[in-house]
Structure 1
């Protein structure tokens, strides 16, 4: 088509050039002009043909574009469907049934409660069985919810009934007061001591709630006479309580002024002044006196309540009625009250949320405890809080609120009495051994024979470092407990040229743990449990003695010492018999020093009729 137009244009140009030449030369050009005009008709026809072909080409192009757009749209729809299917696949993979978050019954509980339905689910698929189990548990939960609603309704009815009964009892108080006033002349004539009890009750009503509960419980125990010899009394006056209330009101009114002075004079305020101002015990406290069985000692417990700390502290004091000096036993009272129960040594304030309240006052629990111990107010043990009906949180973050106060108080007093008697016997034994005021030949503990050849020549106190340097397996097998302290001693036992050193460690939680003995024999060299099996057996024989093996009111330390001495005699007599030069003869009756291939010493003492011998 382009060539046709070009040819038409060329012919039209040639015709115009000829017409121009004819016109310039003056010849006639009308004929040529007519023929040239006819060329425009052919050009117009060619132009129409070109436009028609262009239009047909555009139509074909539009048709092809429409096909391409349609296929592209179809491909985009396919991609969208693919992405949607992928999302659905991921959603299906992450799908979890709602029962997965429910706490269902165990298989054992389900089979026990729905045993009759097992036949119905025998032929079901796993899915249908699971749906059936969910329906059963839903039915069970609805039944339990109905039971809970019923119990809650009955509880509300009981509370309302208790409230009605309380109101009825309170209505009796005015009538009882009138009756008491009207019968007062009769009381005076009969010399009844009702006024004394009235004065006592007037003091009791000023006690804080925890001390009030403790005092009433102690009074009931004393009147019930459960075998405990103690006497509770209230220390303080009513005027002190009233004065403290008045000072508290004055302090609240002058709080802003004091704050202004503290800001302007910060150097005058110290931590001690803040503690003294914040930690104020209640003016009234309880003094509890417990006597020992022989009436020679009395244990005095002072229980105070601290309003800021919301807890009670107990401080112990030991008094003696004879000339025996008990002031030297400095750790006796701390060990007595600090190990009544595990993980309860009074090194933290067992009140929930007290640390956050102290932080608002710029105080810490460590500072408060240090202030209480330094000023002799005692420690806030958990067992004291339970006696006063105070909820506690111990070191292991376990919440406890004792409700059976009568039973708990009796248990605490039984533990204190038992530990006090055990520690008094122990301190008497340690004191007698220190001053060697003990006759070993009269202390048989009803289990050992006569004829001791060794003698105790020294019993002294040593440091913990001196005890820990001893080489023994017993030290490596001990459990490390930071709250338990130890007191160490060194005893020297001599027989002839042989000497045995005994290193004794007494734990602070005695008698829950018994004293530990480590032995070292100096005779023909140094023998310990690490290089001599006989010494290891001697240590086991001494440390295996338990209080249950002895009689009532036993003296465990004496018994351990006696067993150590006579086992040392047996060691020298049996070991010396194998030496070339015999230094120690066999003085005790033995069935056999060694039986067969067993190289054990005959430490065990048996009685066959009237004959008493040692055997392995």
Structure 2
């Protein structure tokens, strides 16, 4: 029975089908029967109840389970005697498997049909949803178009037309057409617009006519001005003809007389400043120029105006203190509000004298600095504004910041930043008008440096404390002796500061571009190196003070927020040396200070590396050797020389490390030294000796 069942197995059927397909006459019939069976089963799957198939499936499974149990029992009793019965039951179980396979095929057909139906329904739903979205978008678009149409404003609505009364009164009857326009508002609007056009044409014609008349008058004025200008050279020639006589006699009478007339109108402090600086110019400094600037007529009226304002202040104080006023006063005098009075008092407190003293200090290279001294009449202090005239290019981020005019004279003398007024009474005066100090007003009023007060003969050190609240008590009388003792030192300090800043700018500009040129005229300095300056940029005090390798200088007070700070990066191969450079505002009296951080095989600085500490010592402590080597004009090359020494020390550090075996190939040795390290501290050969082309040794 097993063999008979095997004859009808699906494998043999497939073999028969393959044989038929190779050319037997039954190939078409077998293929048709298979298709018929497929269609029959699809129809049966569609028509037959799935629940009935489910019951049939459970019965078939139970029958298979029963037959398998009986076969197992027969084999357990006596497999040899029950062989026929076992074969029969096996056939029955196989037939049940055929039923299960048919049920499985029917279920597959149902699942495929359900999926196809689901896909068709989903496609229909998606199509309907897309149509709905399109309809909604179209509805929104139509709504927007309707809104635009409702909100549309014609250009004629922006034109301000004359009223209807003026239109009917002034317009010609050909435009008004009362019988039509009074009945039709649209025709009335068109007629008014046409009348507006006619009026504008008339006004345009009138404007052109007036422009022509204006041009004619302008040409007449220009012609008369040219005639007057032609007289000026002749008058100037006559005046110039008298100058050789005055110069020959060394008597520039016109200039002296003019300056003396104007100087007599100066306030006392500025007069003292003018007299002393002009005397110093005549006696000691031919490159110095002193002059008085301002309006003479305004200066003549200033004294009278100042007296009237002080009297008005007294009246305002009386009015503010008094609580009773008569009805007559209320009718004829309007009392100012408190804020208006405060603003008026503030304006008068900050009043400047219209005349100024201008002092120009020139250098031998034609660079100059112009100092304009102002006098605040009610605060009784002298302020100064600075203006630079340089013939050198001071462009660049770092160099440009050094040459800012209002920062150039910062801390010219120790502690004199100019941020506070030297007159102690000003603090209370400014508080009374709602001001905290003069710092916010410096761009407009100038800076009240202490040395500017000394030049004007003012000395506030001995001001009496109980009287500082009184406006007249703080008016210190200027003294000639105070000015005389200060002029020379101040002029020299300003010249020194300007010279130092220009020299510093000339050295920083190449460093910003990464250019370090050898100082060929100084054989006592190294002439070649392998490292390079890859970066030079300014940094803030906050950034500098946060750097760990700069903390020792910050703690010791060697640097401060008044200095200028830069970050330089020296590189060679994979090694980098980051140097924070602090340049004091008093350069070159104080040399630049370097704080180093070596980034190679980790990070090393002076606190953890003796070699880096010795490198810092070489540029920060032994800078006096560079000064001696540079000779005259050392300030113009000091920073560059320090950078050169730092580059060479960086090379020596890397090459001496290579000599000990740490980096033998990346940094080949190109400098002459006898021992890479020496002594208990294993010091490096940082010291340069100009012997035989230059050798390096330890200190």
Coarse TM-score class (shorter-chain normalised): 0.5 to 0.7
The corresponding residue for 1:374 is 443
Mapping of residues 95-134 of structure 1, within 5 Å: none
Contact in 1 for aligned 2:578/2:598 (Cα 8 Å): yes
The corresponding residue for 1:279 is 350
Deviation at 1:249, TM superposition (A): 4.5
Q: Does 1:613 align with 2:695?
A: yes
After superposition, the Cα gap between the structure-2 partners of 1:528 and 1:306, relative to the gap in structure 1 and judged at 3 Å, is: same
After superposition, the Cα gap between the structure-2 partners of 1:227 and 1:197, relative to the gap in structure 1 and judged at 3 Å, is: closer
The corresponding residue for 2:359 is 288
Deviation at 1:491, TM superposition (A): 1.6
After superposition, the Cα gap between the structure-2 partners of 1:410 and 1:286, relative to the gap in structure 1 and judged at 3 Å, is: same
The corresponding residue for 1:246 is 304
* Partner SS state of residue 421, structure 1: helix
Contact in 2 for aligned 1:287/1:300 (Cα 8 Å): yes
Contact in 2 for aligned 1:445/1:559 (Cα 8 Å): no
Deviation at 1:340, TM superposition (A): 2.1
Deviation at 1:237, TM superposition (A): 2.9
Aligned partner of 1:519 among 551, 571, 596: 596
For residues 83-130 of structure 1, give each alpha carbon's deviation from its aligned partner in whole angstroms, at most 9, with x where no partner exists: xxxxxxxxxxxxxxxxxxxxxxxxxxxxxxxxxxxxxxxxxxxxxxxx
Deviation at 1:564, TM superposition (A): 0.8
Deviation at 1:594, TM superposition (A): 2.9
Query: 1 CA distance for matches of 2:580 and 2:375?
Result: 43
Deviation at 1:509, TM superposition (A): 3.5
Contact in 1 for aligned 2:394/2:400 (Cα 8 Å): no
The corresponding residue for 2:72 is none
* Partner SS state of residue 383, structure 1: helix
The corresponding residue for 1:341 is 413
Contact in 1 for aligned 2:348/2:378 (Cα 8 Å): no
For residues 175-213 of structure 1, give each alpha carbon's deviation from its aligned partner in whole angstroms, at most 9, with x where no partner exists: xxxxxxxxxxx99x9996434433322211111111111
Deviation at 1:392, TM superposition (A): 2.4
Query: 1 CA distance for matches of 2:409 and 2:532?
Result: 36
Deviation at 1:442, TM superposition (A): 4.6
- Which residues of structure 1 form unaligned runs of 5+? 1-185
The corresponding residue for 1:424 is 502
* Partner SS state of residue 519, structure 1: strand
Contact in 1 for aligned 2:611/2:653 (Cα 8 Å): yes
For residues 475-505 of structure 1, give each alpha carbon's deviation from its aligned partner in whole angstroms, at most 9, with x where no partner exists: 35431887x4233222221112222222222
For residues 415-455 of structure 1, give each alpha carbon's deviation from its aligned partner in whole angstroms, at most 9, with x where no partner exists: 1111110111112222222133x343356754322231111
After superposition, the Cα gap between the structure-2 partners of 1:276 and 1:369, relative to the gap in structure 1 and judged at 3 Å, is: farther
After superposition, the Cα gap between the structure-2 partners of 1:416 and 1:573, relative to the gap in structure 1 and judged at 3 Å, is: same
Q: Report the TM-score, using the length of structure 2 for normalisation.
A: 0.54
The corresponding residue for 1:601 is 684
Mapping of residues 493-572 of structure 1, within 5 Å: 493-544=570-621, 545-546=623-624, 548-549=627-628, 550-554=630-634, 555-572=637-654
Query: 2 CA distance for matches of 1:577 and 1:279?
Result: 70
Query: 1 CA distance for matches of 2:361 and 2:334?
Result: 46
Aligned partner of 2:265 among 201, 206, 209: 206
* Partner SS state of residue 437, structure 2: helix
After superposition, the Cα gap between the structure-2 partners of 1:426 and 1:212, relative to the gap in structure 1 and judged at 3 Å, is: same
Deviation at 1:227, TM superposition (A): 4.2
Query: 1 CA distance for matches of 2:334 and 2:619?
Result: 64
Query: 2 CA distance for matches of 1:500 and 1:481?
Result: 21
Contact in 2 for aligned 1:335/1:509 (Cα 8 Å): no
* Partner SS state of residue 346, structure 2: helix
Query: 2 CA distance for matches of 1:478 and 1:228?
Result: 43
For residues 561-614 of structure 1, give each alpha carbon's deviation from its aligned partner in whole angstroms, at most 9, with x where no partner exists: 111100000101111111255122322111433334451111111245x46321
Query: 2 CA distance for matches of 1:349 and 1:255?
Result: 23
Deviation at 1:329, TM superposition (A): 2.6
After superposition, the Cα gap between the structure-2 partners of 1:314 and 1:567, relative to the gap in structure 1 and judged at 3 Å, is: same
Query: 1 CA distance for matches of 2:294 and 2:260?
Result: 14
CA RMSD of aligned residues (A): 3.5
After superposition, the Cα gap between the structure-2 partners of 1:512 and 1:364, relative to the gap in structure 1 and judged at 3 Å, is: farther
From the two aligned structures, give the one with the greater helix fraction. 2
